[in-house]
Structure formats: structure tokens, C-alpha cells
């Protein structure tokens, strides 16, 4: 064990295990997670070659093997709880993606939520037994987040009781679905439903794409892999062109919308029910943002504790780089954000499950807010995490550039979340629609509930009226000022649209001309939600020492957000210039307070070395020995003299 890392852990002012239990949800959940992790760590079937030294085809092959092994192992051990399955798979896959990921996170959940009882009896057993391996084919080459623009058609033929599916243009070819290229034999295809001469918008259809025995593409199916990408090397993201593909009537998912045998269309109780799977994934992505940040700051902070460089005072030994204020200012806000997003991820999971239960019982009232919150928080957390991962990588200097650090892999595997399941700017605009609708309702005297309830309390008074003095050391005061900032920016966006309409612009043009304000309003709303949830979580913590260190993190997260967005707070009259200077000064004090607990706080994430897969982030801190060992495994070192010397370099001498 590196002596620097030992000393860091001895300096901690709180019980790391108690904080780990809070992050997991309970002592029992921590115990069970570690028990499951030990199954993977001690299983020889999960020993593998370092994927950094494999070709893409080899990485895909290894990922498929591991996915198949995980399915068999989970059944062997009787692991069926979703959280426990998540623990198991995360450790087995480390920082790579599962080859069958979309089968589990999109195909099966869509069957569960969109099949009617008869369809459930047919399709769910087939999918659970992996006779049917599925993906979710929504995005097209020319259409992504704008779902209404999708061109794939499903036309009902009453004479044969079939839907005829087509990709009518080059831009309508399905593009990007994971597992589509080589793995899946079925796809849930989102297509424009046409019946009785009318188009009824997007609906979901189960489409066989490969023979279940031979795995050969079926007639009318043109399918394949789209090629190398920025990350996701283990996943066969694919294309799908449909040429007069016929499927039975009951292959349309009909829990909510239906087509009768004569072609009569029965519309669903809510159009948003079609997009339930996307809401589920967006809710999950919030938790993935927290995990990516937890991994990144664990690596960077542990490495900063054992890396010595430069001088603080001439003639003295090189200090740990974690002692430099600039390093703390880079990494400690990321650490605070990782904790904030962890608690938001827990909230989104609970909220999704609660509202899903309500929907199952026929209550759709919570669906609009869930849709808006999942879209906005998905964008807010992934944007923040994407930038913060790169901060962590650069904080590790030259070694952070090496894939041995795992930080390049974390970055390239996480970055696509800013685009898939809804491009982030569009997601923020979707949230803005909900905010403006809520604002209008509040102006009309309606009492709002949930995350937008503050819009009711602040109307009809101007949002800047009667603002109490800001106490930068009081979290409740900071929650309120974030709330006021959000309300102010929502009002500014609404005012902008009204001004555009007064210029006789169309509603669409007014919206586009106000889009920057709308995104800022959504961003501020999401920021308020995160700060509030962090404060709410503190009230649930009983241990005083843990409460103290989490309070310091919450203050740092909140004040760092004010410093980064000071213009909003100043323009709204929520912050004075002297207070802005106090914020910057107090952030420096918080860095000093957090310094003794930095390593202990990342230890509390309890990320096993295998799960991190990082030489720089090792628990024992023995970085340099293992960095040298890792480098020696490079395939270029398989021989002392590479064949290129004899083929090209040696002959070159005789030609000059």
C-alpha cells in the first residue's frame, strides 16, 4: 500500500462505511452488492484480455461471450433483483458496454410496458429465454431526436391482416440501434402507422429481422453494422432497411393504441405512452452520469494523492499535487457533483417507479412531469459529467492521456449520452415546454405540484420582489436563491415569446427566436432541482460526521454553481457584487475543509479495482509499478524486433 494513500485514509473525519451504506441505500444492500461482486471477481470465466489491445471484431466477440456467460451465471445463482443484476453486470463489464445491452434496457422493458395481455404471453417468454434477441430501432439516418419526422412506414393491409413496413427514402433507413448490426434477430421498430388512408403517427411494431435458427437476414431485410464509432467498440450499432416487409396485425404493440381487423384505429389515452421506454432510459442515464463522475474523480483524486510534482517551497520535497489549490479547485467540485448526481439518480429511479405504478393503475397525471424532468435532467447531468470527466483526465497530466488510466475510455463511452435518447438541446426545449405551460397555469391562479410548485408560490409578484438576503453558508438559503433564479429565467423566456408574438411572428418563429432563453430556463430549473434534492438528502442522514462532510460537499456544489452562473444571479438581483466575492472566498475555504476527506470520499463510492480498470486509480496507490507492467503487455512488445523493421526500414537503407 502506498504510504501517501494510507496517510490520506487516516486523516478522514467520518466513517467511510456509513457513507457507502447511504450511497447504496442500506447496510444490507452494501453487503449484498459486495457478495455479488465477489462472485464475478473469483469467476475464471470472466478473465479476459485487456480490450485496449484487441481489434474491434475481437472486442465484440469478447463482449458477446461475456454477455452469454452473464446470462447463464445469473440464472445459476438465482439473481433476479434488478439492482443486483446491475451490480453483477457492471463489475463483469468494467468500463465496456454489454453486447446485449439494448435487449435488456429497451427491448424487454418495451414489451413489458406496451404489450397487451395476449402479446405478453407470446413475446415475453421468447425474449426472456433469448430465443428472441431484440433491439429498439427508432433513430433513422436523417432523423434522430425529432420523432415526428421519422419516415419509416407501417401500412395496414386488411385483406391479409398484415402491416407492410417500408423504408421509403435513404434518410429513413434505421441507423444507430445497438445490437442491430449482428446480434439481434428481432427489432421493435418505430414507424408511422397508416390505416384507412390516414396516418396516425408513430407506433411500435415487433419485426423479425433474422431467422431464429440460421441467423440469416429475412427477405426484405437489409441489415448490418455501421462501422467504428467514438467509443462503444463492443457494440454492433447497426442499420436496417425495410423493403415491403410484412408482419401480422398482432405484431403492433397494442396495450394502449389498437388497430381493429377492419383497419379502425383506436387511439391511446396519452400520446406520451408510446415513449415510455425512452423516459425509462433517460431516467437511468442520470444515474449513469453519477457513476461516470464517481469513477473519474476516484481515479483523479487517488492519483493526485500519490503523484508528487513541482515545488510549493524552494528546496522542499515535491508535494502531492492534491495539495495545490488549483488541483483542488478542479477536482473537488467534480467530487461534489458526483455526490449530487448520485442522489438525483436515486430520486429519478424512485420517481419513475412510482409514476409507472400510477400509470399501470390508470393514473396518467404524473406522466407529463416525469417526461419533462427525465428529459431535462438527462441533458443537465450528461452535459455536466461530460465536461467534468475531461477535467479529471487533464488533472492527471500526461498519464491521464494513456488508456491505462481508464479516463479516455470513460470519456468516449460516456460522451454519446449527450446525444442518444434525445439530443440534449432538444431535451432542454422539451422541458421548457412543460415549464412555460406550468408558468401559464400559475399565472392563471392554478396551484402547481411537484418540481414546478415554486412557480405558483412566486406568482403574480415579480420574482425579484422581497428577496431575502443571501446566506452563503446556509444551504436552505442557497436552495431558495436557485429557485428564484429558475423562476426568473422561466419568466424571462415567457416574456421573450410574448414580445415576439406582439411583433406578429408565428408561434413557431417566436419559439425559435426565444430558444436560447428557453434552454437557459430549463438549465436553471434542473440546477435548482439538483441543489434541492441534495439538501433534502442531508435531512435523511443520521450520522453527524457524515452529515458534516456531505454538507460541505453540498455547499461547494451550490456555491460553485453560483460562481459559474453569477451573471444570472446578478441580473436577477439575487446576488450583489460583494456577495459574489464572498462566494469565491468561501469556495476556497470549502476546498481546505474537504482536503483531509478527499480520498475517503472517493473510497465511499466503493468502486472495486476491476470495476475501475484504472492503473492510476488503484486502491493501493501503487501506480508506477503497475503502469510499467501494463505497458509491457502492449502487443507491439510481443517481439523485440517488429516485422516492419525487416519489411520496410532495413530495405530503406539500401535504397538511399
591 and 544, same domain (yes or no): yes
- Interval 321-351: pLDDT, tens: 999 999 999 999 999 999 999 999 999 999 8
548 and 588, same domain (yes or no): yes
C-alpha to C-alpha distance for 453 and 283, rounded to whole angstroms: 21
**Window from 76-85, 452-461, 543-552 with minimum mean pLDDT:** 452-461
Give φ, ψ of 198 to 5 degrees.
Answer: -120, 150
3-state secondary structure of 605: coil
Which pLDDT score, from 0 to 100, does residue 367 have? 85
Higher-pLDDT residue of 600 and 276 is 600
Q: Rounded to the nearest 10 degrees, what angle do helices 325-360 and 367-395 cross at?
A: 160
Do residues 265 and 578 make contact, with C-beta atoms less than 8 angstroms apart?
no
Residue 202 to residues 42, 146, 469, Cα–Cα distance (Å) = 47, 11, 51
* Strand 162-166 relative to strand 153-157, pairing: antiparallel
Which pLDDT score, from 0 to 100, does residue 460 have? 41
- Strand ranges of the sheet holding 174-175, from the earlier edge strand across to the other edge: 174-175, 238-242, 221-225
Structure pTM?
0.89
Of residues 350, 389, 448, 402, the one with CA closest to residue 628: 402
Question: How big is the chain, counted in residues?
Answer: 656
Q: Which of 421, 423, 491, 500 is catalytic?
A: 421
Question: What proportion of the chain, given as a percentage, has pLDDT over 70?
Answer: 97
Is residue 452 in a domain?
no
Which pLDDT score, from 0 to 100, does residue 466 have? 47
C-alpha to C-alpha distance for 352 and 284, rounded to whole angstroms: 9
**Window from 215-224, 244-253, 460-469, 565-574 with minimum mean pLDDT:** 460-469
Is residue 509 in a domain?
yes
Q: What is the mean pLDDT of residues 618-640?
A: 94
pLDDT surpassing 50 at residue 464: no
Is residue 72 in a domain?
no
Do residues 239 and 178 make contact, with C-beta atoms less than 8 angstroms apart?
no
pLDDT surpassing 90 at residue 169: yes
Q: Which residues contribute to the annotated binding site for FAD?
A: 139, 178
Q: Work out the pLDDT band at 285, boundaries 50, 70, 90.
A: very high
Which pLDDT score, from 0 to 100, does residue 281 have? 82
Q: Work out the pLDDT band at 357, boundaries 50, 70, 90.
A: confident
**Window from 286-290, 360-364, 515-519 with minimum mean pLDDT:** 360-364
pLDDT surpassing 50 at residue 270: yes
483 and 567, same domain (yes or no): yes
Which pLDDT score, from 0 to 100, does residue 51 have? 84
173 and 208, same domain (yes or no): yes
**Window from 67-81, 142-156, 263-277, 517-531 with minimum mean pLDDT:** 263-277
Q: Work out the pLDDT band at 115, boundaries 50, 70, 90.
A: very high
Which pLDDT score, from 0 to 100, does residue 458 have? 65
Of residues 146, 240, 226, the one with CA closest to residue 187: 240
Counting Cβ atoms within 10 Å, is residue 56 exposed (0-12), middle (13-18) or buried (19+)? Answer: middle
240 and 331, same domain (yes or no): no
Is residue 644 in a domain?
no
pLDDT surpassing 60 at residue 463: no
222 and 293, same domain (yes or no): no
Which pLDDT score, from 0 to 100, does residue 244 have? 97
pLDDT surpassing 80 at residue 260: yes
* Arithmetic mean of pLDDT over the chain: 92
163 and 264, same domain (yes or no): yes
C-alpha to C-alpha distance for 358 and 340, rounded to whole angstroms: 27
Q: Work out the pLDDT band at 52, boundaries 50, 70, 90.
A: confident
For residue 259, what are the domain limits? Answer: 133-268
Most confident by average pLDDT, 441-455, 564-578, 584-598: 584-598
- Interval 398-409: pLDDT, tens: 999 999 999 999
Do residues 139 and 176 make contact, with C-beta atoms less than 8 angstroms apart?
yes
Of residues 245, 213, 255, 233, the one with CA closest to residue 109: 255
Domain boundary among 217, 235, 268: 268
pLDDT surpassing 70 at residue 276: no
522 and 434, same domain (yes or no): yes
* Cβ-count burial 233-252 (b if 16+ within 10 Å, e if not): bbbbbbbbbbeebebebbbb
Q: What is the CATH number of the domain that holds 565?
A: 1.20.140.10
Residue 421 a catalytic site member: yes
Is residue 459 in a domain?
no
**Window from 45-59, 211-225, 471-485 with minimum mean pLDDT:** 45-59
C-alpha to C-alpha distance for 289 and 421, rounded to whole angstroms: 14
Is residue 487 in a domain?
yes
239 and 347, same domain (yes or no): no
Which pLDDT score, from 0 to 100, does residue 468 have? 57
C-alpha to C-alpha distance for 98 and 70, rounded to whole angstroms: 10
Q: Work out the pLDDT band at 461, boundaries 50, 70, 90.
A: very low
pLDDT surpassing 80 at residue 145: no
Is residue 616 in a domain?
yes
Which pLDDT score, from 0 to 100, does residue 271 have? 65
Which pLDDT score, from 0 to 100, does residue 154 have? 97
C-alpha to C-alpha distance for 276 and 284, rounded to whole angstroms: 13
Q: Rounded to the nearest 10 degrees, what angle do helices 515-538 and 424-443 cross at?
A: 80
pLDDT surpassing 70 at residue 275: no
Q: Work out the pLDDT band at 462, boundaries 50, 70, 90.
A: very low
Question: What proportion of the chain, given as a percentage, has pLDDT over 90?
Answer: 75
Which pLDDT score, from 0 to 100, does residue 353 have? 86
3-state secondary structure of 163: strand
Q: What is the mean pLDDT of residues 630-647?
A: 92
Q: What is the mean pLDDT of residues 286-311?
A: 95
Q: Which residues contribute to the annotated binding site?
A: 139, 178
Which pLDDT score, from 0 to 100, does residue 609 have? 93
pLDDT surpassing 50 at residue 596: yes
Q: How many structural domains is the chain composed of?
A: 2
500 and 575, same domain (yes or no): yes
263 and 305, same domain (yes or no): no
Q: What is the CATH number of the domain that holds 218?
A: 2.40.110.10
HSE of 181 in the Cβ direction (CA atoms, 13 Å)? 17
510 and 549, same domain (yes or no): yes
Q: What is the mean pLDDT of residues 412-437?
A: 93
137: its cell numbers: 430501432
Is residue 584 in a domain?
yes
Amino acid at each position: 500500500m502506498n504510504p501517501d494513500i494510507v496517510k490520506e485514509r487516516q486523516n478522514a473525519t467520518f466513517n467511510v462505511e456509513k457513507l457507502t451504506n447511504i450511497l447504496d441505500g442500506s447496510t444490507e444492500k452494501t453487503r449484498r452488492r459486495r457478495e455479488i461482486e465477489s462472485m464475478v471477481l473469483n469467476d475464471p470465466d470472466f478473465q479476459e484480455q485487456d480490450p485496449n489491445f484487441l481489434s474491434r471484431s475481437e472486442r465484440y466477440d469478447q463482449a458477446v461471450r461475456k454477455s452469454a456467460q452473464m446470462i447463464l451465471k445469473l440464472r445459476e445463482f438465482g439473481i433476479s433483483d434488478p439492482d443486483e443484476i446491475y451490480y453483477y453486470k457492471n463489475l463483469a463489464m468494467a468500463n465496456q458496454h454489454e453486447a446485449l445491452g439494448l435487449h435488456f434496457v429497451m427491448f424487454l422493458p418495451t414489451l413489458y410496458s406496451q404489450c397487451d395481455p395476449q402479446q405478453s404471453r407470446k413475446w415475453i417468454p421468447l425474449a426472456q429465454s433469448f430465443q428472441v434477441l431484440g433491439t429498439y430501432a427508432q433513430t433513422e439516418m436523417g432523423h434522430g431526436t425529432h420523432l415526428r419526422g421519422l419516415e419509416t412506414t407501417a401500412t395496414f393491409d386488411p385483406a391479409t391482416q398484415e402491416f407492410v413496413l417500408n423504408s421509403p427514402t435513404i434518410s429513413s433507413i434505421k441507423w444507430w440501434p445497438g445490437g442491430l448490426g449482428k446480434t439481434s434477430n428481432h427489432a421493435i421498430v418505430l414507424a408511422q402507422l397508416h390505416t384507412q388512408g390516414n396516418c396516425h403517427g408513430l407506433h411500435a411494431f415487433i419485426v423479425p429481422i433474422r431467422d431464429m435458427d440460421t441467423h440469416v437476414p429475412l427477405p426484405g431485410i437489409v441489415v448490418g453494422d455501421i462501422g467504428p464509432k467514438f467509443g462503444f467498440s463492443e457494440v454492433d450499432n447497426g442499420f436496417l432497411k425495410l423493403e415491403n416487409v410484412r408482419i401480422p396485425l398482432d405484431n403492433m404493440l397494442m396495450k394502449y393504441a389498437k388497430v381493429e381487423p377492419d383497419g379502425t384505429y383506436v387511439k391511446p389515452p396519452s400520446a406520451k405512452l408510446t415513449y415510455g421506454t425512452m423516459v425509462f432510459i433517460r431516467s437511468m442515464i442520470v444515474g449513469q452520469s453519477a457513476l461516470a463522475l464517481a469513477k473519474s474523480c476516484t481515479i483523479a483524486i487517488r492519483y493526485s494523492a500519490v503523484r508528487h510534482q513541482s515545488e510549493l517551497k524552494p528546496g522542499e520535497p515535491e508535494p502531492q499535487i492534491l495539495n495545490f489549490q488549483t488541483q483542488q479547485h478542479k477536482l473537488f467540485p467534480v467530487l461534489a457533483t458526483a455526490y449530487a448526481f448520485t442522489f438525483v439518480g436515486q430520486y429519478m429511479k424512485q420517481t419513475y417507479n412510482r409514476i409507472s405504478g400510477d400509470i399501470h393503475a390508470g393514473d396518467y397525471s404524473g406522466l407529463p412531469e416525469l417526461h419533462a424532468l427525465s428529459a431535462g435532467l438527462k441533458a443537465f447531468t450528461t452535459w455536466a459529467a461530460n465536461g467534468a470527466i475531461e477535467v479529471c483526465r487533464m488533472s492527471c497530466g500526461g498519464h491521464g492521456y494513456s488508456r491505462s488510466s481508464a479516463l479516455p475510455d470513460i470519456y468516449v463511452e460516456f460522451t454519446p449520452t449527450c446525444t442518444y435518447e434525445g439530443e440534449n438541446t432538444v431535451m432542454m426545449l422539451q422541458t421548457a415546454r412543460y415549464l412555460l405551460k406550468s408558468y401559464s397555469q400559475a399565472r392563471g391562479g392554478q396551484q402547481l405540484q411537484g418540481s414546478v410548485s415554486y412557480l405558483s408560490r412566486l406568482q403574480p409578484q415579480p420574482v425579484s420582489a422581497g428577496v431575502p438576503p443571501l446566506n452563503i453558508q446556509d444551504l436552505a438559503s442557497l436552495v431558495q436563491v436557485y429557485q428564484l433564479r429558475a423562476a426568473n429565467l422561466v419568466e424571462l423566456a415567457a416574456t421573450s415569446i410574448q414580445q415576439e408574438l406582439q411583433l406578429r411572428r408565428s408561434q413557431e418563429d417566436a419559439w425559435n427566436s426565444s430558444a436560447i432563453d428557453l434552454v437557459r430556463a430549463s438549465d436553471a430549473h434542473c440546477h435548482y432541482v439538483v441543489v434541492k434534492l441534495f439538501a433534502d438528502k442531508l435531512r435523511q442522514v443520521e450520522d453527524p460526521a457524515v452529515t458534516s462532510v456531505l454538507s460541505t460537499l453540498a455547499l461547494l456544489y451550490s456555491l460553485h454553481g453560483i460562481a459559474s452562473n453569477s451573471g444570472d444571479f446578478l441580473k436577477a438581483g439575487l446576488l450583489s457584487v460583494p456577495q459574489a466575492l464572498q462566494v469565491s472566498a468561501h469556495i476556497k475555504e470549502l476546498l481546505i475543509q474537504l482536503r483531509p476527506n478527499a480520498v475517503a470520499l472517493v473510497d465511499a463510492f466503493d468502486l472495486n479495482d476491476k470495476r475501475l480498470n484504472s492503473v492510476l486509480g488503484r486502491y493501493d496507490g501503487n501506480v508506477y509499478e503497475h503502469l510499467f507492467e501494463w505497458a509491457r503487455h502492449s502487443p507491439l512488445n510481443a517481439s523485440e524486433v517488429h516485422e516492419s523493421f525487416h519489411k520496410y526500414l532495413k530495405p530503406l537503407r539500401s535504397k538511399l
